[in-house]
Amino acid sequence: MFKLLRWQFTLFYALAAVAIIALVASGAYVIVARYFERTTDLALYHKMAHEFHSLNAPLPPELAEADIDWSILRNEGGIARSRMLSAEEASRIALAVRGGQIKRIELKDNGRYYEVKLRDDSEITIDAYSGRIVGIEVKDLQRDHITGISSPPAAYDAEIASIFVLPLDAQGRILFNPNPAALPITADKEALAAALQNGSDLRTITVNSGQRIRLLTYRLTRPDGPAALQLGRLLTDQEQVLNQLMIGLVSFGFVGAIVIGIAGWWLAGRALRPAEDAWARQLRFIASASHELRAPLTLIRASAEVALRSATDDDQRELLSDILSESDHMRRLVDDLLTLSRLDSGALTLQRQRIDLRDFLRELHRHVSRLGEERSITVNLNHAAGIVNADPDRLRQVLLILIDNALRYTPAGGVITISAELVGRNVRLSVRDTGCGVSPEHLPHLFERFYRADPARERTGGNAGLGLSIAKGLVEAHGGTIGVESTLNQGTLVWFTLPASDEQNV
């Protein structure tokens, strides 16, 4: 019993731990996935804003807001977001360049920008595609008097560098390819049509190779040039990171569940140890008390029998008969308690032997049929077949418990049927009666100790409610199962199975 409880506690701890780990892991996965999604979308909007700047097209408000959000997200050193230089600022830079102040020119970000460094370490960023000056960082403000000019429009990072740009006409043709690498897809015409109709479109598509691409398409807001710009980013790297994260989280959860399961087993053992010790002491007490009660009960019964032989007064004989009846009842109760204590402690020893149920049930039927005749109840042996390896005394005890219950709750004129048949690798024995039956709500509790289903199972004739629980324990000790089926006011069927012997009747 306590071993089963320990397993149940351990399973509860493990399931609780798995639920917590799954909740934390799924939360972490969702956070990372949403971060990737938000960062990718912001990068696409930021890049789109830069392309609008490069084409000197009016910037939609949502792109301007996304550009600011990107700068905040990337924490670009507090420098204002990128913008196109004014004519005055561009002329001042041109004077500096013509004055021989150039220190060096470098190609940056996969050839997307030229970075011109002056002798005073000021930097000018030029868009390699359009030739426009898009940013400047001035070190000597007193000489150049240029203020409020931002850093390059994007310190190109992984998100920006992995975005490809498709300038499209209204039919979805690519006008030119400004990308340094090969394009993973051609233009998506569904996204283009949606952008031309609604102004913009953001979606995730899957190409024939199975790769997923996040695609942002904007209708251009100037009369000349491309009809739309389509920007995309492959999500393969993000999916790889998410898959690795998932594998890591699952591995962590598996190892964590094992560790917590081991810890739960230890904690459950510690928590149940006091109850287990108390239960063991209770079983020892019941066993000792049962043994101690047997001797005085035997002496009381023997004394009552001697007194009954010499008693002449009818009242005395009636009182002595009551003493004998109650002594027998107490002896049966003590035996039942002793049997239960042995079953609970696992100390019950079974003397197994080969039993041919045909002969065994015939002998049992001959005995119980006389009890049925005394109560005007017919006891039939319907079918008896099968061989089992069981303790004959304990098997007889189980059947007598079932038959006694059937006799107790079957009215005069009723029928009790005993049968045994081979079912697969088991032998099924059953006792069926035509008694008052049991209500459905009581059926699950019939094998509980001291349980009586009132009024049909009320305490009569010394019934303490231990019989079926003892029968269940003895059947399970033989490796079998027991069950009950009943219909109110029609009768009850109690059956149990035992493993069949390899040698069977032909």
Whole-number pLDDT of residue 104: 59
Residue 103 has a pLDDT of 57
Assign residue 373 the CATH number of its domain. Answer: 3.30.565.10
pLDDT of 30 strictly over 90: yes
Q: Given CA atoms 70, 75, 77, 80 in this order, what sign does their dihedral have?
A: positive
For residues 127, 132, 138, 140, the Cα torsion angle rounded to the nearest 10 degrees is: 130
- Please tell me whether residues 224 and 357 are part of one structural domain: no
Q: pLDDT for 256-279, tens place per residue? A: 888 888 888 888 888 778 877 776
In a domain, 305, yes or no: no
Per-residue pLDDT, averaged over 334-354, amounts to: 78
pLDDT greater at residue 376 or residue 467: 376
Q: In the numeric block, which tokens belong to residue 117?
A: 């460094």
Q: Give the mean model confidence (pLDDT) for residues 214-240.
A: 88
**Last residue in a domain, options 211, 239, 267:** 239
Whether 300 maps to a domain, the answer reads: no
Instruction: Give me the chain's average pLDDT, please.
Output: 78
Classify the phi-psi angles of 78: left when phi > 0, otherwise alpha if psi is within -120 to 50, otherwise beta. left
Sheet-wide strand order for 426-433? 378-384, 415-423, 426-433, 491-499, 481-487
Reported as a single tens digit per residue, the pLDDT across 160-183 is 668 899 999 988 898 888 887 778
**Higher pLDDT, residue 8 or 142:** 8
Give the integer Cα–Cα distance in Å for 179 and 229: 13
230 pLDDT band (50/70/90 cuts)?
very high
Confidence of residue 11 (pLDDT cuts 50, 70, 90): confident
Q: What average pLDDT does this structure show over 182-190?
A: 85
Residue 324 maps to a domain: no
pLDDT of 323 reads 86
Higher pLDDT, 90 or 117: 117
Looking at 209, 239, 269, which one is the last position of a domain?
Answer: 239
- 200 phi, psi to nearest 5 deg: -155, 165
Amino acid making up residue 156: Y
Regarding whether 364 and 227 lie in a shared domain, the answer is no
Tell me how crowded residue 467 is: count the other CB atoms within 10 A of its CB: 20
pLDDT for 50:
84
Gap between the Cα atoms of 431 and 377, Å rounded: 14
Model's pTM, two decimal places?
Answer: 0.48
Q: Is the pLDDT of residue 107 over 70?
A: no
Question: What is the pLDDT averaged over residues 316-339?
Answer: 80
Based on its alpha-carbon atoms, the radius of gyration of the chain, rounded to whole angstroms, reads 46
How confident is the model over 361-366, as a mean pLDDT? 91
Q: What is the pLDDT of residues 470-504, one digit of tens each?
A: 899 899 989 999 999 998 888 999 999 999 887 66
Structure tokens at 226: 């491309």
Residue 8 lies in a domain: no
Single out the residue in 239, 274, 303 at which a domain terminates. 239
> SS3 sequence, 154-195?
CCCCHHHHCEEEEEECCCCCECCCCCCCCCCCCCCHHHHHHH
78 versus 173: the higher-pLDDT residue is: 173
The residue-averaged pLDDT of 447-475 equals 70
Q: Average pLDDT, stretch 372-380? A: 90
Report the pLDDT averaged over residues 25-31.
Answer: 91
pLDDT of residue 126: 65
Evaluate the CA torsion angle 338, 339, 343, 344 in order and state its sign.
negative
Pick 318 or 343 by higher pLDDT.
Answer: 318
How many domains are there within the chain? 2
User: Distance between CA 299 and CA 488 in Å, rounded?
Assistant: 44
Banded pLDDT at 203 (limits 50, 70, 90): very high
In a domain, 404, yes or no: yes
Query: In terms of pLDDT, which residue wins out, 317 or 342?
Result: 317
15 domain-assigned: no
Domain residues for 129?
81-239
Regarding whether 359 and 481 lie in a shared domain, the answer is yes
pLDDT of residue 135: 64
Average pLDDT of the segment spanning 345-365: 87
What is the DSSP code (8-state) at residue 152? -
Between CA 308 and CA 489, with CA 367 as vertex, the angle to 5 degrees is 100
Q: CATH number, domain at 161?
A: 3.30.450.20
Structure confidence at residue 338 as a pLDDT band (50, 70, 90): confident
Instruction: Give the distance from CA 49 to its chain's centroid.
Output: 47
Please list the alpha-helical segments (H only) found in 55-188: 61-74, 87-98, 141-144, 158-161
Whether residue 246 is contained in a domain is answered as no
Q: Out of 189-193, 206-210, 325-329, pick the least confident.
A: 325-329
Residue 377 has what pLDDT? 92
Question: Would 105 be classed as within a structural domain?
Answer: yes
